[in-house]
Structure 1
Amino acid sequence: MRMSISKNKSKAIFLVLSLVILGACAPQPRQESSATEPKLKTSCKKGSIRRGDCKLQGLAEQTQEADSDLWEHITSGFQLTDYTDNPRVQEYFEFYRDRPVYLQTISERSSRYMHYIVEAINERNMPLEFALLPAIESSFDPFAYSHGRAAGLWQFVPVTARHMGLPRTWWYDGRRDVLASTEAALDYLLELHSRFDGDWLLAMAAYNSGATTVNRAIRRNRKAGRDTDFWSLSLPEETEAYIPKLLALTQLIKRSEEEGIAIAPIPNEATFEVIDTDGQIDLAQAAELAGISIDEIYHYNPGYNRWATDPNGPHRLAIPVQSAEQFRQALAGIPPSQRLNWRRYQVAPGDSLIKIARRFNTDIATIKAANELKSNAIRAGQTLLLPSASMDDSHYSLSEGQRLAAAQQKGQSTGKQAVYHQVKSGESLWTISRRYRVNVNELARWNNMVPKDPLKIGRKLVIWQSEPISVASGDRGSRSVIRWVSYTVRRGDSLARIADRFSVNVNEIAQWNNIDTSKYLKPGQVLSLYVDVTQLSGR
């Protein structure tokens, strides 16, 4: 397990930049190292369920000083430098150059995590441009959530997270765990790099849009007798911008002084140590032991969804280096059985495990394990032992539930009134937005979701409205019957014509299909429509 990253080790790690590249995972050879330089080994096992649980081994003593500013070290390890004159790169170079505040934001947000990311990249002898990939993916926000249900610094979607062994439970989401997701993202890039014959640009394109999409584009070009490099492929618009953005950002940081842009330095040293907790622990208690705020615990450990770590692991916490020794000593004085509060609860008539779990902010599996229950059956009068948070929910402000509550209250500042809707079978954000006559993107944002997220029956959604609409009255909302329609564009079609045909508006079609209203439709293009079939009578 990667438990502690000391300053001596972190300095030695950067010597890896001068090692000979032994594998095929880097596109360019590096300067050969001397016999006295350290070699890196890791105890990470390929295919490990818990990624990020690695430990650096066999580090020789440092033989030279590393750059004191981490940005200097990063820029010295850039390898993808042949594209600075590309017009698409230049376009985004100018875009970022005109937004120095954004660069400062990136520098501030990344300061907690950048040293760990750079170490992981150096271990793999990969281009250090990848240290900036989270800036493009999430703006270095570990709590970021976007379309396709992508989450975390590296924006893993569920299917790729499963492929890379990132667990997702009620308590924990490996996609947001900085340690685990960083290891998984870099391993995935290496996998794609190998699959696309050592081409880093194609590997990045596949990371963004999927290997199938890139392979399909390559086959099209080969069939047409065209080049198959990244710049020659026809890829999704987001992917075509993705790589130029990264290359532009890395070049701007390299030339920041020349461009007159001040970027706050980041010390080239570890910002946290990873400490074994030997079991589940209340995050408020952990914060108290370390002498830091609960929010700070969450910022360093954003993978934990709730008020405590996952009872099934990972059993570790990243703690700021200045607090690590205090935390380690304080933790040693508390037996594992006392790192959570426990309460006894007498089952009432009508209770079920799911009701009790929701009431006490825990999950069914934990209740069953603590009480050695073999099934979900319980009886009135039965006594259950339940884990409970040591503080009120509001103190865990960056837990998943509290982040959702904060998102749901954002509409309050606009002077609108809140309406709550409980999700029923067959409903989606699209159908609910039509029913309440609100924008689906706003509805998703109010509930910390994205428009295409699936809904769970019984989930309570907040809807902010200027004037409450009674959906039980005789208005159009109560009579609406919304159906999903797949429509294939025909010759002569336009967004306006399709909108008129199905009694929807142009902006809705654009939102549903993530298309630009200023661009022409192509015959054969398939559109998703959410249509009120009661409005189509006689058409």
Structure 2
Amino acid sequence: MRGIVLTACLVIFTNIWAVGEGESNDTTVTDVSYKDALAEAEQFMNRLDDKVSGWYSDRAFSYIDTAFNDSTSIANVPDSVFIQRLKKLSEETVIELPFNERVKAHIAVYTDKKRAVTSEILGLTDYYFPIFEEELDKAGLPIELKYMPVIESALKPRAFSRAGASGLWQFVYYTGKQYHLNVNSYVDERRDPRKSTQAAIKYLSDLYDIYQDWYLVIAAYNCGPGNVNKAIRRSGGKRDYWEIYYRLPRETRGYVPAFIGAMYALNYYKEHHIIPVKANIPMHTDTLIIQEPLHFDQVSAVLNVPEEVLKELNPQYRRDIIPGGSKSYTLTVPVSVTGQFVELQDSIFNYKDDIYFSEKRETVDPTASSGYVPSSIAGKTKLYYTVKSGDNLGYIADWYDVRISDLRYWNNIYRNLIRVGQRLVVFVPTSQKNKYVSINQMSFAQKQGTASYTASTAPVQTTTGHDPDYIYYKVRSGDNLWLIARKFPGISSDDIKRLNNLTSNSISPGQLLKIKPKG
């Protein structure tokens, strides 16, 4: 049953390496020229450059010039030297390390053509290799598998392929989910160094259960077991990587030679005068458990830790936010600030928390934010009014004794925009239906005659004439109708103009404005 599940799910995993040459019936790899192999190897590395896009070159490294003597160029090194060096390496590895023109080409890329990339990778091995080695040892897998992320991502946890593969081990979304890596808008555990390593080890272990051969496992990791199985069938059942080489997908053929080339380069870089470039990542860290939402800026501001350092140590957080809440998350920090974090954690979580985090509402009351509550239409009759030339919402609201805000709400009107011929819904008390039913047929003068007041340009009196049934507001310096209306939920500037017979937005300090009925 297990094998069936694996065949169904593991084939999902893909990678973007696309190097090599066309299909051939040959079953050996010794017939290729070194020049052609080198061109393929350079293509392979260029695709790696596309993945990482120079992100670390700008942020994680302090560059220094690497010494290079032309006499140490790979062109001047006899093949026997490479064979001897690989033989020495293989004394400590389970996975064999053969030599051929394709392996030599990848050695050339790492030690000559892409020396700067190799320098960067060497700078990162001090941080990432201990993680890989610990997890591989715990699982009982060959330690030399730690070189796989070198050819997958150049040890860049934010590496992202065109096929959607992400992280040090380049998991695509569905395979990551299959191996319990959480991916959502805040977190991408494919970029978590330890969790992605644990997932990759499970994946590699499952593949080894199928093939019992590490080079076939490495090939299947790249192109999926379905493609490896197809290559085995087409080769008449042969189960040696080099014998099925030309039956594999083009993008997979360079994968094993690159693996051997990377292992060689990272062990014999001194012989090629390559100097590791130190990465600006703290080598000594602690991992803290976080159970509340936390932004990197909060940690950075209180503990004076550069935000870039937090990003480097915690690449799994996509928005520099640890979501917290119902589950716990980890935060990796320099060991030098662990004590400070524990001591100052209240200050850290409280620092500008109202800016970085707002409560996610479980229930919503539309009136809570707008302040507007539509008038009830219970016990009211629906009437229709057809807009005529010269009409505006203020007039229509006055003719029917309704609020402009209600008129907008009933008719889904944005601002005060209405057009001639538009049919508006109006709700009026059923007991007064006869008073309003004929308004739609009246002339403008007749409708104005029904209004509760007539328009006037006279200013509102500020000391006398108060209507005890209304709430008033005294205009202050700097006020305008919009600002005043905001002080009273459910009231608009047009409502104030209508109640106070204003024909413009002009008001004066000291002026007394009628706002709304009491009660």
TM (norm. structure 2) is 0.49
TM (norm. structure 1) is 0.47
Q: Which has the larger radius of gyration?
A: 2
Question: Counting helix residues as a fraction of each chain, which structure ranks higher?
Answer: 2
Which structure ranks higher in relative contact order (CA pairs < 8 Å, sequence separation ≥ 6)? 2
